[in-house]
A and B are shown apart, each in its own frame.
Chain A
Amino acid sequence: MNLFNFPVINIALAIIISWALFAIFCSLVYEAFAQLKAERGRFMKKYILLQLQDFPNGVNWGSLLYMHGNVDLLSRAPGKPSSDVQPCLFAETLIDVVATAHLVQVQRLPADLEYATNENVSYVNGTLANFKKATQTLLPSDVMMFLTQALKSAELNSMQTGALDEGVIYKKLVANIENWYTELTQRLSLWYKKKTRKYLFAIGALLAFFVNVDSVQLFGVYRDYPANSQAITSFYNNNADQLQSDSNNLKILLDKFGTLQKETVLPVGYDFSAIHLAMLDKTIPQPQIHAKMYWFWKIIGVLISGFAASFGGPFWFDVLKKIYSKKS
């Protein structure tokens, strides 16, 4: 028995393809919005500022990091910070920011600490010496604990025949901070994905309302007119590869959508939207919008489309791939 002979499976397939196409469209709109707002860079900056806020010492190392030439030169626009700060650049800049801070220079080392510093870990290199001084003299905070630990670990791992090689310590210190930053950026990607889903849902629901991508209505159309579901399935079969590879090319996508619109008689587009129907000449009867439960199902349909868009195009294409692999 072939499951794909069941009409309900074909309807589901057609719906998923519709969602995949709609999700691509929504992603494109979101991408334009994100570019305009420099959303990725601002999101990253927001979290770097949050993580490197050092309340006990009254300083935000993240803010100073973004003002440092190394990072500032990447975009030179505080409102549009770069989202692509490499781990090595981040680590080296953070070390420099801490080491050159006037806040560190004004601290006085207690006599016994000075003795210990000079005798045990005496750095010739100014950057390392000042970084060490920061970890010794600033008030304990989450950020300072992290930096202290990074330096201690670098020192311990650089011990060779009892002597300390400053070059090796610096490299290991950079590596330790890099590791933390890499972990943070991985988490940031996840958080950004979550945030993107919320935006995609909002954009999806809004667009679905204005261009009438109503999942409930589409379900009805695919159920009542099997030719439409077959048309959209064959459209997908013929264009699947190109749709995925050119998902960022708006022109190609619009051409494809235009072709699809001609091949099918789907109630998609502004002409079918509830807002357009409601604004039409009142003398022309519009029975459907006065039907019982019309607005209820419209809202449900639009919300389902928004929800589908929030998963993004790649998710739905993966689902389709899996379905087709079963079929073959």
Chain B
Amino acid sequence: MQYYNVHSHTFTMTNAPRRFLHLYLPDFVADAVDKITNTQPGTVTVEFLLSKLGGNGGKRYASFLKIGKSKNQPEVFDALMNSYTDDQTMKFVALTMNMEYCGAGPSTSGFEGQLEEVLNIKRRYPNRLLVFLGVDPRWAAGQRSIKEKVEQYFSTPLKVNDTTSVSPFCGLKIYPSMGYYPFDQRLMETFEWAATHKVPVLSHCYYLGGIYNNDEKYLRENLSAADPYSGTTFNGDYVKERGFWRWLLGTKNSNNNLDSCSYFMEPNSFISMMDHFKAKGTPLKLCLAHFGGGNQMKDRNSSDAPFGAARRNWFLQVKDMLLKYDTLYTDISYALHDQEIFPTVFDELNHPSYGNRIMFGTDFFLTEREQQENKTYSNFKTAAKEKTLSNFDHINAWDQAASKSVAEFLKSDFYDPAS
């Protein structure tokens, strides 16, 4: 049986915006960490200091920096493969990300440069690496140009050597919290094309987690937008919360931006688009990654209303949508480091309506700050192998989540899991 990790990253800090660390840390700390971790001794020093001053969390954060800053993409991928010592045939989906427009400055490599780097890995491991192309409505001028770019990237074979060429990409990746709605008109033609060719689309969907747009002015101007699928206007409000400690640490604005970006990526924002493609007869194969977020999974009974238009728990929103759309998938990446969510995940995997659309992924290497990849993988695999799913012919949860569901999701005109 062929197993997959449907959610991983190989990008490094050279592919990330120059002010990437400022999204997570107060400015003065980000500047200091950025400078110091430029060298191996510096990283070791920061790791030591964070482990002493910041506990295990601090040490993990340093490990995350160590991978992102001291390695290049091929080395990151090697580190990922080396975490799966018991399965040398495991395939990995690497999600490329266009972070050029998230209000933290341009990257050193450029987005096309990031693609070149990841395709160089694909040349080395054509069968084990499956690449998703990151798309952003600001990538080119106009929806036609974006679609043509995507089409060209997909249809031009990647030359591995003189006798072999492979299809370079097998899916699309979107990251709405970078500052756009999934229903953005500029992405319409691209999604039409994806639906026609059954190309899977994976979207980041983790409540208050991940990368977000850090330009307050941009957010204020773009949170309200026209939804071309429903013909209505979507009204998102800029979130402005006060907090003395946030202000003192210099993270007040970045936290407000993060909160506001919830409007862009909440499951509710995908509904009109999914309805459109369903009604058209060419349903879009979409994965709302992270099942809404581990925090939302745990807080599903809480009365706190999360940020966003629906003001409803994101995990529950995804569940409702899974019932409504047959081509909607989700994955359990990132949250997987937390074994407390395993019982919930296994219950969901056995759900008769959508249990076969929940996929295994880890979100490497962003999870390194929580737990090392080999541990995240082996903990889940061990537990999932022991769990049989009564609603699916007693198949074990591991085979379901890491093989069957993913293979079905990835199948398109550009990738055949059976070949």
Contacts and interface: CB of A to CB of B under 8 A. Distances in A.
A and B found bound together: yes
A53 B159 CA distance: 25
A127 B133 CA distance: 26
Interface stretch (A57-65, A168-176, A282-290): A57-65
A187 interface: no
Contact of B40 (A53, A57, A79, A105): A79
Size bracket of the B interface: 20 to 34
A140 B34 CA distance: 32
Interface in B100-117: 100, 106, 108-113, 115-117
Contacts of A54: 110
Given A78-B72, A79-B70, A60 B109 contact: yes
Contact of B112 (A58, A78, A105, A108): A58
Given A102-B119, A102-B156, A60 B108 contact: yes
A57 B115 CA distance: 12
Interface in A94-124: 100-103, 105-108
Nearest to A68: B120
B41 A59 contact: no
Given A67-B72, A67-B74, A108-B152, A59 B113 contact: yes
A79 B69 CA distance: 8
B39 interface: yes
Nearest to A61: B113
B156 to A, nearest CB: 4
Q: Which of B40, B111, B112, B168 has the most CB of A within 10 A?
A: B112
Q: Which secondary structure dominates chain A's binding surface?
A: mixed
Interface in A283-311: none
Contacts of A42: 38-39
A102 B156 CA distance: 8
B70 A78 contact: yes
B128 interface: no
A276 interface: no
A118 to B, nearest CB: 20
A310 to B, nearest CB: 22
Nearest to A57: B112
Nearest to A39: B39
Given A37-B41, A42-B38, A79-B70, A102 B115 contact: yes
Interface residues of A, number: 27
B153 interface: yes
A59 B109 contact: yes
A108 B40 CA distance: 43
A64 B156 contact: no
B72 A59 contact: no
Contact of A106 (B71, B74, B152, B159): B152
B108 A67 contact: no
A78 B14 CA distance: 11
Contacts of A38: 39
A102 B119 CA distance: 8
A263 to B, nearest CB: 39
B39 A37 contact: yes
B158 interface: yes
Contacts of B117: 63-64, 67
Interface in B148-207: 149, 152-153, 156, 158-159, 168
Interface in A28-76: 36-38, 42, 49, 53-55, 57-60, 63-64, 66-67
Contacts of A55: 106, 110
Given A42-B38, A57-B110, A103-B115, 12 more contacts: A53-B108, A58-B113, A63-B117, A64-B116, A64-B117, A67-B72, A78-B70, A79-B38, A79-B69, A100-B159, A102-B153, A108-B152
18 contacts: A49-B108, A54-B110, A58-B110, A58-B113, A59-B109, A59-B110, A60-B109, A63-B113, A64-B117, A67-B74, A78-B70, A79-B39, A79-B40, A100-B159, A101-B116, A102-B116, A103-B112, A105-B158
Interface of A: 36-38, 42, 49, 53-55, 57-60, 63-64, 66-67, 78-80, 100-103, 105-108
